[in-house]
Amino acid sequence: MTEAPELPDLSPDDCHPRAAAALADPFFWSLTDETAPFGNETAHETLTAFRDFRDEHPKKSPIELLDALLERWEVGNGGWDAVDAAEVEALGEEDEYGLLTRDEAILGLAFSQIVVEGRLDPEVRRRALLALARQALPAVLSAYEGRALERALRIDRMRGVLSARWE
């Protein structure tokens, strides 16, 4: 029997003050709720990697980390601008794992940067908002079965946070 991976530490008591204020709803801090930004293994790994990345490279673009993670995971690094339902469906049919992993990674990265630094890189924000648009499509929401409405409402809350000023 394999051990469950260790979850990263995530708490409103141990983050940037701007993050604690903006992420007032407890769901933002959940590491186990699949409808939350950190509720999957991809986001856990992204949060841990971002913290390490910032320690080692305080001035580098977080996109460099994203590129490295996707390469390590052998996930394609494209389709960022796809939001049309037919185009997203085609991407999903071609590589569903890649599509979902990219979205989980960019959302994890966006919220990691907010939690750690209290700011958000413009390109990370742009890609994360596009990921939320994809995640809000009926074909993607249907995977959440009985929690699709809850996921849609949380996508709206995440969009609101990401759309705020984070300079």
pTM of this structure: 0.94
- Residues near 56 by Cβ (< 8 Å), separated by ≥ 6? none
pLDDT in tens, 107-129: 999 999 999 999 999 999 999 99
pLDDT band at residue 167 using 50, 70 and 90 as cut-offs: confident
Average pLDDT over residues 96-108: 96
pLDDT in tens, 8-60: 889 999 999 999 999 999 999 999 999 999 999 999 999 999 999 999 999 99
Do residues 55 and 77 touch, judged by C-beta distance below 8 A?
A: no
Q: What is the per-residue burial (b if ≥16 Cβ within 10 Å, else e) of 68-100?
A: ebbeeeebbeebeebbeeeebeebbeeeeebbb
- Residues near 146 by Cβ (< 8 Å), separated by ≥ 6? none
Do residues 114 and 23 touch, judged by C-beta distance below 8 A?
A: yes
9 exposure class (CB count in 10 Å sphere: 0-12, 13-18, 19+): exposed
